[in-house]
Structure 1
Amino acid sequence: MADAFDFDLFVIGGGSGGVRAARVAAGEYGVKVGLAEDDRYGGTCVIRGCVPKKLMVFASEYAGMPAEAASYGWDVQGGAFDWNRFRGKLQAELDRLEGVYRNLLAGSGVETFDLRATVKDAHTVALADGTTKTAKHILIATGGYPVRPDMQNAELGIVSDDIFHLEELPKSILIIGGGYIACEFACILNGLGVEVTQYYRGAQILRGFDDEARGLVSESMSQSGVDLHLGTNIIELSQGENGINVKSTNGNERSFDQVMFATGRDPASRNMGLEDVGVRLGRKGQIEVNEYSQTEVPSIYAIGDVTDRVNLTPVAIREGMAFVETVFGGRPTPVDHDLIASAVFTQPEMGTVGLSEEEASEKEEVEIYATSFKPMQTSFAEKPDRVLMKLVVSKATRKVLGCHIVAPNAGELIQMVGIAVKAGLTKEQFDATCAVHPTMSEELVTMRKSVRSA
């Protein structure tokens, strides 16, 4: 099919979305595919995001287990956390996963280039070694990267990519930001024994999530030892004798071993020649695409975080699959970004799907069904932990418009609830489902009376 081109498809970016599109196009549709990646295969998720972060979450959760086990009659002795031992295993696992990605591409017949690639024209890619490759279609899947604020001495701080490569864990760290990355790492490092301070300039962390749910996460984080300061930002950073000196808007001047910026991510689209060939970029550098992930240059497409639509790994994969179906399967497939379930791996976790109470009430009249309680496992251990189960229901149609869970393993729970919400089930259909007892999640099908209307 390549005709006069070197490839039918050339993918720039070896992350989850790009790799899936490349191997399905080559393996299932038999087209000739090339792929360039200038870093490690697996991208943000596998190498410096979801996977290593979740392994660190697991590691951090063991800290409280000896005390909890003692409440259940076990004589378990706690010990110190060995960062070097864990980090060695972590890097070995990431190496293994990168090998899996490389093997998947090779097994599908994709030709790979371990080089940076830029776009020369609508059908030509320029590689860093000076060679060029032509392709009928070009797919940009370069993801995003964490940014530092534009301030003096910002280089003194680290970003999320750097956490996994620290030679040793700091004794103290200041995390700046209130999004999910900031909150997740605050919980992780707190669990690993680091003295964690977090500054966020807003009134409450996790902006954009349901207010009641994020309020409980904030309360739980503070209760577990994170020194959280809301309405607070940094004014000045400087290198001191005993660490990094920080002046903040709350009047404090303190020193920390490390400062971590978790203040946002930008699409990795700069200096790729895209605008020169007619591809339009947004204010943050995001590649502007239509519902089929196609840019204004018909032969060039983009998926994943570089488009800044819904920046989640499973979404990038689905966008890659929709692209392949559209271009090589002959079935135009728009990307469905509606009702995507997601989880924030704080402690406790937060799982969410659909509309928050605030979003829903702006659109129509809703009823709120919610309960917060101490779960059996930790209540028995006399811990103060609380969980939240919440449904946002349309008064007119009785459809469940949103579900928000703050609880251990909320990510696992919301995956299943996401099916029901995506299917458009009503509150009465939830009610008609028999509860599994004793569980936390049974509350989702036993809440008979609304707590309020909005």
Structure 2
Amino acid sequence: MMAFDVDLFVIGGGSGGVRAARMAAATGAKVALAEDSRLGGTCVIRGCVPKKLMVFASSFREMPSEARAYGWDIPDGSFDWSVFRDKLHAELDRLEGVYRRLLDGSGVKIYDTRARLSDAHRVALASGETVTAKHILIATGGRPVRPDLPNAGLGLVSDDIFELQSLPKSILIVGGGFIACEMACIMAGLGVKVTQFYRGAQILRGFDDEARGLIAESMKAQGIELHLGTNIVEMAEAAAMAEDDANMGAGVESAVDLLPQSGQLGCPVWVKATNGMEQSFDSVLFATGRSPNTAHMGLEDLGVTLGRYGEISVDAYSQTAIPSIYAIGDVTNRVNLTPVAIREGMAFVRTVFEGEPTPVDHDLIPSAVFTQPELGTVGLTEEAARAQEPIEVYCTSFRPMRTAFAGGDARVLMKLIISQSSRKVLGCHIVAPDAGEMIQLAAIAVKMGATKEDFDRTVAVHPTMAEELVTMRTATRTA
């Protein structure tokens, strides 16, 4: 039998890879991990954590006026990006250090370099070393992608936002998914003039129609200029376009043709849209999708099956077509959420190192979109449930006490989707401040199979927004 250098080699130092490495090491396995960027991965360094801190920062914009409505003498104040940015990066440095200490403390050997597969048991490192492993776990995550558009390199992607030296005065955000909508609300809250293009008929495709409609209206009320059914036709550096205009008629070649493929981070950009709109923005942010990080890893040469988007195909136990190679997290493009990647890593360790075959449970996963207000959801949308079976819908929308007292027009939404036959709650959707906090608790009941009558038997906590989840007695509609 071949002697291996390690029992497990993990490629990728994000939340899923780190959790799997630590859990495997706890079983007595010899574990190594390679990461060519920063430990913590997308969530800690370029996603969930810095994004949520930006959400917090942006939410203070409305606080002074609301406080004044309650009798506090508080001036509006101003936001200093440099102060926030410096503290943000210090926090990310701290968190990366925590991840490194956790791995070191677990006995995991860390390679700060890129890795690729030479064969089913051999990992080649960019540093020149080769490590043999009984099992290999790929947890390389995903990356934001720019659209196939000339001069798309002039635009930012989500990773770039945290590196800006200064906030733009205006920004165009292209996309309608949760990253685009969250960034639109964040930037608007920080005082940036926000325009958003989305080629679809409504933002947040895949979420409940009623909930995403309310989010869209709330975003418009915040001053976000939302253009649906709209996309970019052409883009160029704004300065070059101005020079091109000045030289028109003098035989000068079009500035669009002379542009480099990438400009400075956040440079002013001129945009022409499908609706005929032409405008310059200080920055353009593309939030038009992400791709799995599988390129140049030697996967296809070994027979690892990749899907149409480059994702690694795995079975219910996260195993690839090569028995010694497994994959978890966004690189598999199953459910691209950090807690899911962590669960997948834990299930992998139980299956491979603890002798307890554990399939990954992807059913009834709660999630939140950190727009303002937030959207929390678990289970089926009304549209998906209606296509599956006869349902009842319980729904209410109202002005919450806190903002209503201050004269605000913001509304919240509480919605339950009920199976007519089993009476189980098939879906719960909340649009409200702190909806993410509320949906986490509601998801426990939904995951346990609670019925509408179980909700009805629960005494309300008054006065709260969430009490509406247990006080709705009459169905809004049936289908």
Aligned twin of 2:477: 452
Asked if 1:5 is matched to 2:8, the reply is no
How many Å separate the matches in 1 of 2:5 and 2:373? 51
Aligned twin of 2:291: 266
Task: Tell me by how many angstroms 1:90 deviates.
Answer: 0.1
Alignment of structure 1 residues 46-445 onto 2, 5 Å: 46-241=44-239, 243-445=268-470
Q: For 1:27-84, what per-residue CA distance to the aligned partner results, in whole angstroms no more than 9, with x for missing partners? A: x201000000000000000000000000000000000100000000000112110000
How many Å separate the matches in 1 of 2:36 and 2:436? 32
Q: For 1:177-222, what per-residue CA distance to the aligned partner results, in whole angstroms no more than 9, with x for missing partners? A: 0000000000000000000000000000000000000000000000
**3-state DSSP class of the match of 2:376?**
strand
Q: For 1:400-424, what per-residue CA distance to the aligned partner results, in whole angstroms no more than 9, with x for missing partners? A: 0000000000000000000000000
**3-state DSSP class of the match of 1:416?**
helix
TM-score, structure 2 length as denominator?
0.94
**3-state DSSP class of the match of 1:155?**
coil
**3-state DSSP class of the match of 1:154?**
coil
Task: Tell me by how many angstroms 1:240 deviates.
Answer: 1.7
Q: For 1:370-405, what per-residue CA distance to the aligned partner results, in whole angstroms no more than 9, with x for missing partners? A: 000000000000101000000000001100000000
How many Å separate the matches in 2 of 1:215 and 1:87? 32
Task: Tell me by how many angstroms 1:280 deviates.
Answer: 0.4
**3-state DSSP class of the match of 1:152?**
coil
Q: Structure 1: where are the runs of 5+ without partners?
A: none
Q: For 1:228-271, what per-residue CA distance to the aligned partner results, in whole angstroms no more than 9, with x for missing partners? A: 00010010001122721100011100000000000000000111
Q: Structure 2: where are the runs of 5+ without partners?
A: 243-267
Task: Tell me by how many angstroms 1:129 deviates.
Answer: 1.3
- Residue type at the aligned position of 2:20: A
Q: For 1:403-450, what per-residue CA distance to the aligned partner results, in whole angstroms no more than 9, with x for missing partners? A: 000000000000000000000000000000000000000000000000
Percent identity over paired residues? 71
**3-state DSSP class of the match of 2:105?**
helix
Task: Tell me by how many angstroms 1:334 deviates.
Answer: 0.1
Aligned twin of 2:263: none
Q: For 1:127-155, what per-residue CA distance to the aligned partner results, in whole angstroms no more than 9, with x for missing partners? A: 00121100000000000000000110000
- Residue type at the aligned position of 1:240: A
Aligned twin of 1:45: 43
Q: Note the aligned Cα RMSD (angstroms).
A: 0.8
**3-state DSSP class of the match of 1:105?**
helix
Task: Tell me by how many angstroms 1:357 deviates.
Answer: 0.1
How many Å separate the matches in 2 of 1:127 and 1:198? 42
How many Å separate the matches in 2 of 1:92 and 1:350? 29
- Residue type at the aligned position of 1:156: L
How many Å separate the matches in 2 of 1:381 and 1:231? 35
Task: Tell me by how many angstroms 1:94 deviates.
Answer: 0.2
**3-state DSSP class of the match of 1:156?**
coil
- Residue type at the aligned position of 2:272: K
Task: Tell me by how many angstroms 1:3 deviates.
Answer: 6.6
**3-state DSSP class of the match of 2:98?**
helix
How many Å separate the matches in 2 of 1:282 and 1:130? 30
TM-score, structure 1 length as denominator?
0.99
